[in-house]
Chains A and B, each alone.
Chain A
Amino acid sequence: MFHSRSRTKKAWNVFLILFLVGLAFSPFFAAKSLNVIAVPLAEIIKVPLTVTSSLERKLEEGGGVIRDLIDLYNQNQLLADELARMQIEQNRLKEIAAVAERYRLLFDFKQQCPYSTVVAQVIGRDPTNWHRSVVIAKGERDGVIAGMGVITPLGVVGRVLKVNRTFSVIQLILDRDNITTAVVQRTRDEGIVQGSENGQVIMKYLPPLSVVEPGDVVVTSGLDGRFPKGMVIGIVNQVEKKIATPFKSATLTLHEDFSKLEEVIVLLSTNVLGERGGECFMQHKDEREA
């Protein structure tokens, strides 16, 4: 009983194997029957394939965009660094150009100025608020002596107050202790120019009948021996006559902002040098800028 069942099973197995082998070796029949299954299967499988493929493409494209963005970011960083470097360089060159321009003006002035002079760099300002002075990097060893006049190409700056071996202290004409003899260029009225506590420069002791008016230029009179005659001090801003005094006084606007002084010229002598003649030609800053 048991043997007959086993034999039947084996027979079926052999039949199935033979059937499948036969199917495999019969291309016409196999292709036809497989097509029946394969076409719809292929249609079904096509959907995820297409989706996957397009996703992959999109990811690749997206990856490319990200890579491009990273490249752009890196390039941007490099360019920003380069720009910063160029700006620093530009500022440096601007500063050099400004210094060169200032030195050119000083050189031109020195060339046409008929007096013995020395150019000095301003290295510091008064450490207190009670005085108006600057420290320059020229001293005794450069021939600077206390009392000498100090100017710029635009006009009078002050006088040498203290001298050390390598540096000097210059008392500005803004200082209340500084007194300079002066004359109004147009009317030839004489007076003295003195600083004040609030930083104003005042021309005092003008004759009561003086016709000085705002806009008149005030120059050195040359009487104090510190400055030659005709150096610009400032321009009259306001004229007043106080009841308590018989004299008129005038408030002056100076030729430049002394808080920005960088170089000055010390007049070593007020005697005219050799063959040179005439006076130092000083322009008002508006004329120079124009």
Chain B
Amino acid sequence: MKLFVYGGAILLIIPFQVVVIHQFAIGSIVPDSILLTICLVGLWRGKLEAVVLGIGLGFLQDLLSGSMLWVNLITKPLIGLAAGVWGRTVLSLTSWIIPIFVMGISFISNLLVLVFFKIHSPEMDIIRAFFGTFLPQVLYDGVFGAIVLLAVFLLFPTLYRNVRNL
């Protein structure tokens, strides 16, 4: 049953990120709904399921992206792990901490990507990449993530109670 649910989630979220999310683009920056999904699963179901889902989603994200490196295959399970550990044991997830939480997760993910790309192509302009992609992405992920997570928690209060161990 769980396999079908996660399979269905993957089949929904990947086309959403590849086709629909560009409607929400600010400049050329789009929020990472895959990262958000993994965060939510990490908070709700724990680190193990988030890591497994991160592997699946990261693989497909790399398959469809214009990168020859499999960076998302590495970063996405890692952020699943971080969300699972950090979100459930360290933080008390109140409404004002959600954007900071998502920004933190996005920061880790994008920092890893930046490091990978810099190692792979040393001529990369790190300042331009930081201000052109990294920073806008982290901020947009935080805002978008907060809106989506708050909406999910409002729609499903039991989920929120579950996440906060209430």
Contacts and interface: CB of A to CB of B under 8 A. Distances in A.
Interface of A: 123-133, 135, 161-162, 164, 169-172, 175-177, 196-199, 259
Contact of A127 (B64, B128, B129, B136): B64
The secondary structure that dominates the A interface is loop
Interface string B111-143: 001000100010011001100110011000000
A129 B29 contact: yes
Given A124-B19, A127-B14, A133 B66 contact: yes
A131 B65 contact: yes
B66 A124 contact: no
Contacts of A198: 128, 132
Given A171-B66, A197-B128, A127 B18 contact: yes
A198 B29 CA distance: 11
Nearest to B67: A131
11 contacts: A123-B19, A125-B18, A125-B22, A126-B18, A127-B14, A128-B72, A133-B66, A135-B64, A169-B66, A197-B124, A198-B132
Interface in B81-107: none
A133 B29 CA distance: 13
Contacts of B17: 127
A212 B14 CA distance: 44
B132 A197 contact: yes
B37 interface: no
Given A164-B63, A170-B66, 18 more contacts: A125-B18, A125-B19, A127-B18, A127-B21, A127-B65, A128-B32, A129-B29, A129-B32, A131-B66, A131-B67, A132-B28, A135-B18, A169-B65, A197-B132, A198-B128, A198-B132, A199-B28, A199-B132
A124 B18 contact: yes
B124 A176 contact: yes
A129 B137 contact: yes
Going nearest first, the 6 A-B pairs with the smallest beta carbon separation are A133-B66, A131-B66, A124-B18, A197-B128, A198-B132, A127-B17
The secondary structure that dominates the B interface is helix
B34 interface: yes
A130 B19 contact: no
B124 A132 contact: no
Contacts of A135: 18, 64
Given A126-B66, A129-B29, A259 B22 contact: yes
A131 B113 CA distance: 11
A161 to B, nearest CB: 6
A124 B125 contact: no
Contacts of A199: 28, 132
A127 B61 contact: yes
A169 B124 contact: no
Interface in B5-34: 14-15, 17-19, 21-22, 25, 28-30, 32, 34
A133 B28 contact: no
Contacts of A259: 22, 25, 28
A54 B124 CA distance: 92
Contacts of A128: 32, 61, 65, 67, 72, 113
Contacts of A133: 65-66
A129 to B, nearest CB: 5
A130 B29 contact: no
A177 to B, nearest CB: 7
A3 to B, nearest CB: 104
Contact of A161 (B34, B61, B68): B68
Contacts of A126: 18, 64-66
Contacts of B124: 176, 197
A130 B133 contact: yes
Contacts of A172: 66
Nearest to A124: B18
A129 B28 contact: yes
Contact of B64 (A129, A130, A169): A169
A170 B64 CA distance: 10
B98 to A, nearest CB: 21
Interface string B52-69: 000000000101111110
Nearest to B131: A198
A281 B36 CA distance: 46
